[in-house]
Structure 1
Amino acid sequence: MISVKAPGKLYIAGEYAVVETGFPAIIVALDQFVKVTVSTADQFGSIMSKQYQENSLYWTRENDRMVFDDRDNPFHYILSAIKLTEEYAKTLNKPLGLYHLKINSELDSDDGKKYGLGSSAAVTVATIHALCQFYELPLDKDRLFKLAAIAHFEVQGNGSLGDIAASVYGGWIAYHSFDREWLKLARKNYDLPQLLTEKWPGLKVDLLTPPADLKLMIGWTGSPASTSHLVDKVALAKAKDDMDYQTFLNESKKCLLAMIEGFKRGDLAAIKTEISRNRQILAGLSRLSGVIIETENLKQLCDIAEHFNGAAKSSGAGGGDCGIVIIDKNVPTTALIAEWQKNAIEPLNFNVHTLN
């Protein structure tokens, strides 16, 4: 039996801008995992998951037709990962087999709370990793990223794929997104082995070392959000007011490059300054797009953290889910946590997961 795991992620900064080619974000991998096992099957294969058996579907009405949105259903990512890995196997003349695939996720709580830790990305990465072992396919981190990015993008159709990078590379990363329009064309013109060795325009992943005195805190607001829907809404606003959107992009890039420099210098004060600046930049995007990125609960989470000398902001697409705090690890945080709990904000005791 083959068993692999892939970590979940949290965005630290650079959200929304990172969906544009070459724009940076900082992301961390967390020590909460999706685990996938593969074992040989005889007469029929299976895909089993305790967490995903009763997954909800989003749907809307178009001209009296019920239209389903599959982008929040993890099974579609699993199926896409299987299809792509087997396409890769066939290009290398590997015979396809039958297998049982079991998925177990720690990224949502036992009582069904959804923390927004990138389960669709982690399950895509873990499924591909496990099946590449099953079929004995050549794989390194760069190939794993590219395979998982293709499989995920072919379901979601938007987003930066930064959550895939966090699950593949682990730790703290500076991620610059690649050109998704190029990928669509490349999929039609290159076979998979060639696409996996090509340089992808705009793609850059750098591992970061946090300052020794940096502490990351995570709070959960109790209300899950759909990343793909929020990204869609911001894309509509971009089309309406391109000049202000370009200003947002430029401000985000300046902020992130300064933050990355702060990591390189081990300068906690500089990182905290840029976290606070990124919060304000996202507030500007929220006004421009009409998308509520920082909900009232997220605002409370951030304001409380700032009162106790932390720098805080929403994480990921916002609209609910988690907020993050960067604080000096020598500063006591008991009172901060107590204030969060008084305001129905749940501290999440997760750590950054570094891969070998």
Structure 2
Amino acid sequence: MITVKAPGKLYIAGEYAVVESGFPAIIVALNQFVTATISPSDTVGSIVSKQYQENSIYWRRQGDAMVFDNRDNPFHYILSAISLTESYAREAGRELGVYHLGINSELDSADGKKYGLGSSAAVTVATIKALCQFYKLPMDKSKLFKLAAIAHLSVQGNGSLGDIAASVYGGWIAYHSFDRQWLQVQRQNCSLTELLAMPWPDLKIELLTPPADLRLMIGWTGSPASTSHLVDKVAMVKAKQRAEYQTFLQESKACLKRMVQGFHAGDLQQIQAELRHNRQLLQDLGAFSHVTIETPILKKMITIAEAAGAAAKTSGAGGGDCGIVLIDQAIKPTTMLKQWAQEGIERLNLNVHTVSDQSISNV
């Protein structure tokens, strides 16, 4: 049996702007995982998730096609990942097999509530990692990112794919999104093998080392949010509010550049200052796009954290889910956590997941 893991993620800064080609964000991988297991089968294969036992899928192979016994399932990302990886396997001359694929996610709460930790991205990455081992396909981080990005994008249709990058590379990363229109054109003209070997326009992934005194803390509001719906809402207004949107993009890029410099210099105060600035930019974006990025409970979470001497903001698309806090290790957060609990804000006891192999091939 093959077993692989892929971590969840949280956005630190650069949300919304990062969906535009070449614009940066800072993202962190977390030590909560999606685990995929795969084992060969003779005739009937299965796709089973501990989270969705009632929706397990059973399938057979007819030629190279997967034929399903039940059509209504919640596994769109898994199926997209399988389809794409098997296309790649066929290009590499592999004969397609039958297997049992098991998925177990730690990225949602025990009662199934979403924390907003990028479970769909981690599921996609874990599925592809497992299948690449199953079919003995050579796979480095660059190829894994690209294959998972194509699979995820074909289901979600929007987004920056930064959560895929975090799941593949681990640790703290500075991520610049690639040109998705270019990818759409190339998919019509190139094989997957060719596409994975190419440099992708605007794509850049850089590992960051956080300052020794930086501590990341995460607060969860208890209300899940849909990233794709919020991104769609902002996309609808960006043409109408072109000048404001372009100003937001350029200011976000400058803010993130300064924040990355803070990481390079090991300067916690600079990182915190730019985190606060990024929060203000997102508040401005929310105001002119009429999208609720910072909900009242997230605002309370941030206000409490700032009073404790930390820098804080929403994480990801906002509208619910998580807020993040960057605080000096020397500050005791006891009062902050007590006040959070009084407001119904749960601290997620998560740490940064760092991949042991820190080498990055050219993307």
TM-score by length of 1: 0.94
Moved more, 111-120 or 139-148: 111-120
Question: In the alignment, what sits opposite 1:263?
Answer: 263
Task: Map 1:1-356 onto structure 2 (within 5 A).
Answer: 1-53=1-53, 75-356=75-356
- Is the partner of 2:347 in helix, strand or coil? strand
What is the deviation of 1:235? Answer: 0.0
How many angstroms apart in 1 are the aligned matches of 2:120 and 2:159?
A: 12
**Aligned residue type for 1:315:** S
How many angstroms apart in 1 are the aligned matches of 2:274 and 2:132?
A: 40
What is the deviation of 1:114? Answer: 1.1
- Is the partner of 1:240 in helix, strand or coil? coil
**Aligned residue type for 2:232:** D
- Is the partner of 1:201 in helix, strand or coil? coil
Deviations 1:223-266, CA, capped at 9 Å, x for gaps: 00000000000000102111110000011001100000000000
What RMSD in Å do the two structures reach over aligned CA positions?
0.9
Instruction: Flag as ranges the 4+ runs of structure 1 deviating above 6 A.
Output: none
How many angstroms apart in 2 are the aligned matches of 1:323 and 1:52?
A: 27
- Is the partner of 1:37 in helix, strand or coil? strand
How many angstroms apart in 2 are the aligned matches of 1:54 and 1:281?
A: 43
What is the deviation of 1:52? Answer: 3.2
How many angstroms apart in 2 are the aligned matches of 1:344 and 1:234?
A: 29
Structure 2 runs not aligned, ≥5 long: 56-72, 357-363
Deviations 1:19-78, CA, capped at 9 Å, x for gaps: 0000000000000000000000111000000213468xxxxxxxxxxxxxxxxx861000
How many angstroms apart in 2 are the aligned matches of 1:113 and 1:228?
A: 17
Q: Against the structure 1 CA distance between its residues 54 and 277, is the aligned structure 2 distance closer, same or farther, given a 3 Å change threshold? A: farther
Q: Against the structure 1 CA distance between its residues 340 and 34, is the aligned structure 2 distance closer, same or farther, given a 3 Å change threshold? A: same
Deviations 1:109-137, CA, capped at 9 Å, x for gaps: 11222100000000000000000000000
How many angstroms apart in 1 are the aligned matches of 2:52 and 2:246?
A: 39
Q: Is the 8 A contact 1:176 1:203 kept in 2?
A: yes
How many angstroms apart in 1 are the aligned matches of 2:219 and 2:172?
A: 18
Q: Is the 8 A contact 1:74 1:119 kept in 2?
A: no
Deviations 1:86-115, CA, capped at 9 Å, x for gaps: 000000110000000000000001122210
How many angstroms apart in 2 are the aligned matches of 1:351 and 1:152?
A: 25
**Aligned residue type for 1:76:** H
Of all paired residues, the percent bearing the same amino acid is: 69
Q: Is the 8 A contact 1:173 1:208 kept in 2?
A: yes
Question: In the alignment, what sits opposite 1:64?
Answer: none
- Is the partner of 1:82 in helix, strand or coil? helix
How many angstroms apart in 2 are the aligned matches of 1:52 and 1:172?
A: 31
- Is the partner of 1:51 in helix, strand or coil? helix
TM-score by length of 2: 0.92
- Is the partner of 1:4 in helix, strand or coil? strand
How many angstroms apart in 1 are the aligned matches of 2:52 and 2:257?
A: 38
- Is the partner of 2:193 in helix, strand or coil? helix
Question: In the alignment, what sits opposite 2:62?
Answer: none
Q: Is the 8 A contact 1:74 1:120 kept in 2?
A: no
**Aligned residue type for 2:99:** Y
**Aligned residue type for 2:184:** K
- Is the partner of 2:38 in helix, strand or coil? strand
Structure 1 runs not aligned, ≥5 long: 56-72
- Is the partner of 2:354 in helix, strand or coil? coil
Q: Is the 8 A contact 1:52 1:75 kept in 2?
A: no
Q: Against the structure 1 CA distance between its residues 248 and 74, is the aligned structure 2 distance closer, same or farther, given a 3 Å change threshold? A: farther
How many angstroms apart in 2 are the aligned matches of 1:194 and 1:99?
A: 27
Q: Against the structure 1 CA distance between its residues 318 and 53, is the aligned structure 2 distance closer, same or farther, given a 3 Å change threshold? A: farther
How many angstroms apart in 1 are the aligned matches of 2:121 and 2:114?
A: 14
How many angstroms apart in 1 are the aligned matches of 2:125 and 2:278?
A: 29
Deviations 1:265-309, CA, capped at 9 Å, x for gaps: 000000000000000000000011000000001000100000000
**Aligned residue type for 1:256:** L
